């Protein structure tokens, strides 16, 4: 009987190890269960994300007053916080804010605050982006950076994090897949290629899908063709520091980052992004 129990134990252990080993080679989702749940939740959020953004264009919701501008952008962001905050504590036994999905949104909110407050000035003056929201009266942007000819509606601070959660989730899945296949010495090279490729792709697709004729009275680029060709490279600089840094967020089973670390890492990535796009400005002005 003892031998039978030992054989069964060995059999189960071998099966578990084989499964873990298989998952370690070429898997998409994190081995941290809480992070894997968050990644799947963000993918499930995609239909809502696309539907709301499409409805804004279809229904002409870009030309609204301050209240509705804030409301529609909060409607895009809040589900990413409320749903995990309600569902996860009962499973993880943690506070609502101590779960990967909520921490990911916090990371993006801090990162995008820097990107919006300072970075939009580069989009205005270097890339020729135009905001025109005549009914919106609340705005917030850098006092000294940029020409000051345009302002940033307050609602955009709640819009950008939702977009970036989507982009970074896709990037992290792609990076993990590359990093967990048997690529040997090519792994660092493939990781860099993946980061750069996904960064450019996300920048290009956002520009192409948002700078549409339906949005043009309220959001457009002065030269869309130039923006798609060259500006997407500039925009990709936002993602070069953030993709690898977000990948580290509670990546291993048992990881549990404090909120302070989330904030500091996002701030560091934000400063790196501003440095990169400022360097890139030297080249963009000569294209």
pLDDT in tens, 143-158: 999 999 999 999 999 9
Q: Which pTM was predicted?
A: 0.89
Buried b (16+ CB within 10 A) or exposed e, 19-44: eeeeeeeebebbbbebbbbbbebbee
Residue 190, domain member (yes or no) = yes
Residue 12, domain member (yes or no) = no
**Predicted local confidence at residue 24, as pLDDT:** 53
**Predicted local confidence at residue 1, as pLDDT:** 42
**Predicted local confidence at residue 16, as pLDDT:** 34
Question: To 10 degrees, the CA torsion angle through 57, 107, 238, 206?
Answer: -20
Q: How wide is the angle at C-alpha 52 spanned by C-alphas 76 and 234, nearest 5°? A: 70
Residue 165, domain member (yes or no) = yes
Angstrom distance (rounded) from CA 204 to CA 245: 21
Angstrom distance (rounded) from CA 74 to CA 64: 14
| Residue 149, burial from CB neighbour count under 10 angstroms (0-12, 13-18, 19+) | exposed
SS3 33: helix
Residue 216, domain member (yes or no) = yes
Residue 131, domain member (yes or no) = yes
pLDDT tens string 210-253: 999 989 889 999 999 999 999 999 999 999 999 999 999 999 99
Composition of the chain by helix, strand, coil, percent to 5? 70, 5, 30
Residue 13, domain member (yes or no) = no
Q: Which two tokens stand for residue 139?
A: 């705005």
| C-alpha distance across the termini of the chain, in Å | 78
Domain that includes residue 233, residue range: 28-284
Residue 138, domain member (yes or no) = yes
What sign for the dihedral angle of Cα 50, 103, 37, 201? positive
- Low-confidence spans in the chain with pLDDT less than 70: 1-24, 183
**Predicted local confidence at residue 231, as pLDDT:** 96
**Predicted local confidence at residue 19, as pLDDT:** 42
What domain count does the chain have?
1
CA–chain centroid gap for 69, Å, is 21
Residue 15, domain member (yes or no) = no
Residue among 198, 177, 209 at smallest CA distance from 49: 209
């Amino acid at each position: 009987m003892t031998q039978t129990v030992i054989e069964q134990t060995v059999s189960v252990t071998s099966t578990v190890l084989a499964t873990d080993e298989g998952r370690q080679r070429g898997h998409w989702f994190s081995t941290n269960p809480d992070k894997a749940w968050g990644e799947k939740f963000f993918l499930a959020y995609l239909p809502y994300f696309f539907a709301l953004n499409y409805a804004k264009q279809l229904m002409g919701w870009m030309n609204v007053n301050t209240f509705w501008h804030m409301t529609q952008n909060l409607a895009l962001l809040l589900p990413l916080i409320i749903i995990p905050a309600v569902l996860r504590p009962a499973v993880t036994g943690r506070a609502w804010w101590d779960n990967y999905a909520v921490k990911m949104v916090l990371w993006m909110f801090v990162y995008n605050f820097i990107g919006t407050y300072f970075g939009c000035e580069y989009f205005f003056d270097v890339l020729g982006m135009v905001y025109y929201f005549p009914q919106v009266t609340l705005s917030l942007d850098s006092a000294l950076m940029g020409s000051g000819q345009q302002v940033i509606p307050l609602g955009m601070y709640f819009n950008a994090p939702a977009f970036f959660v989507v982009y970074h989730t896709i990037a992290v899945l792609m990076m993990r897949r590359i990093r967990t296949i048997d690529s040997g010495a090519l792994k660092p090279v493939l990781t860099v290629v993946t980061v750069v490729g996904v960064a450019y792709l996300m920048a290009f697709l956002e520009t192409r899908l948002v700078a549409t004729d339906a949005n043009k009275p309220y959001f457009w680029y002065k030269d869309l063709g130039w923006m798609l060709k060259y500006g997407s490279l500039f925009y990709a600089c936002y993602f070069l520091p953030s993709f690898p840094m977000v990948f580290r967020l509670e990546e291993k089973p048992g990881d549990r980052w404090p909120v302070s670390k989330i904030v500091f890492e996002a701030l560091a990535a934000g400063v790196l992004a501003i440095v990169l796009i400022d360097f890139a400005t030297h080249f963009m002005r000569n294209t």
